[in-house]
Structure 1
Amino acid sequence: MIQAQAIRLFTNRGYDAVTVADVAEAAGVSAMTVYRHFPTKEDLVLIEQPARLIAERVAASSATQPLVLRVGGALVDAARALTGGDGDAPEASERFLLDCLRLMVSTPALRARHLDSQYALQQAIVDALGVDTTDPDAAFRAQAATSACLAVMHTALTRWAQDDGQTKLPALIERALTASFGDVATGQGD
């Protein structure tokens, strides 16, 4: 509820114009309560749930699949879970994610934090792949595949924000993966 109020205020009034006290008042809590759950103002916009979902899905994938299929499939599955699937009606969670994405793109302080979270996501995915970390070549391949998949996802997220969520995010990620890696990234080349 606190985060939803913060995003609403940031979207309506601008990130820099809203204080944590404003967020607390809108949420009906004290500023201390806001800080207990969100240590910084930037944390009110960043969403940690996708990283957990993606890492869980990567870990559950078959180690016999190509790396880009494991990572790409996890990105698509997580997007489907976070946006309410591929249905025609926009979900409230989808609108929330769009608003967060727009704020991260348009606010310099949030772009820097978003970049930090992308590095953490990359490491979480590499860890979830379960590659032999004593093999430098295997670790390098996992990092390269993960980094490439995250770049593809960024392109899909940018398009998704530009078209105001008109195209479903899972479909955009699949299209971007196919454009970048061919059918191997979506498992259709098997």
Structure 2
Amino acid sequence: MTAKVQPSSPDPFHAPAGLRERKKLKTRLAIRREAYRLFREQGYDATTVDQIAEAADVSPSTFFRYFPSKEDVVLNDEYDPLLARALVDAPEDASLVSVVRTGIMGVLREVLRHDRAELETRLTLIRTVPALRRRTYDQQMESWQVFAAAFAERTGRPANDFELRVASASINAALSEAMTMWAEGGFLADPLDQLDRALGYLQAGLRTEQ
């Protein structure tokens, strides 16, 4: 049996149809927006959940219904399900890397158009806050599982298939390294170009020019 991709949160770029889901999305994004503002203004460690909740005009208990901890405001996002859907819906005759290359580029393009400042804040926090760095591996494993589930649905193989796991881990590592290098360079380079180069390197079979 192949794994099914189940988005865990609403599409952040297109409002959900139901009123309840629209309200939930609005609240979730408001909490994250205010949290990032406070992190930029006073630092991650100095910002409390109570301060974030007050700034977002919600109670602390409401905060914890959306995010299990302050760390999860930074580490959790809505983008993996979008990418997974793009991978599943791509043409059947396309290779996995080419499908990912097109899908990731499309999602990143939307993220940059809608949430570039928040993405830069997120990457900066992950690089500079030890508590977030320690949890990055877990977050990357979750992304890897999303890739594996999407590939499994696409190919009909089980999600724990050896080749699918290697492909998922390799693609996730390329994505992570491209974003890390973008952040290390002060966000001056074109992130789409860096990501395209990283995935192109994988697609070319990891060949280097002499």
Which residue is equivalent to 1:13?
42
Contact 1:160–1:169 (CA under 8 A) maintained in structure 2: yes
**d(CA) in 2 for partners of 1:112, 1:96:** 20
Residue of structure 1 aligned with 2:157, choices 130, 133, 138 = 133
Distance of 1:182 and 1:12 partners within structure 2: 43
The answer on whether the counterparts of 1:80 and 1:169 sit within 8 Å (CA) in structure 2 is no
**Structure 1 segment 1-190 matched on structure 2, within 5 A:** 1-84=30-113, 93-129=115-151, 130=153, 131-133=155-157, 139-182=161-204
For residue 51 of structure 1, report the CA deviation from its aligned partner. Answer: 0.6
In structure 2, what residue type is equivalent to 1:94? Answer: R
CA distances 1:102-147 after superposition (whole Å, capped 9, x unpaired): 11121122123332121111111111112343597xx211111121
| Structure 1 residue 73: Cα displacement | 2.4
Q: 1:65 to 1:31 in 2, by over 3 A?
A: same
Deviations 1:7-39 (A, max 9, x none): 111223222111101112222322222122212
Q: State the 1:183 CA deviation.
A: 8.8
Counterpart CA distance in 1 for 2:158 and 2:131 is 36
TM-score, with normalisation over the residues of structure 2? 0.75
Deviations 1:58-84 (A, max 9, x none): 111233222222223222221112111
Percent identical across equivalent pairs? 31
Q: CA deviation at 1:148?
A: 0.9
| Residues in 2 aligned to 1:174 and 1:122: alpha-carbon distance in whole angstroms | 19
Residues 152, 4 of structure 1: CA spacing in aligned structure 2 closer, same or farther, 3 A cutoff? same
TM-score, normalising length: structure 1: 0.82
Distance 2:147 2:66 in 1: 25
SS class of match (2:75) = coil
**How many positions carry a matched residue from both structures?**
175
5+ residue gaps, structure 2, are: 1-29
TM-fit CA distance, 1:169 = 2.1
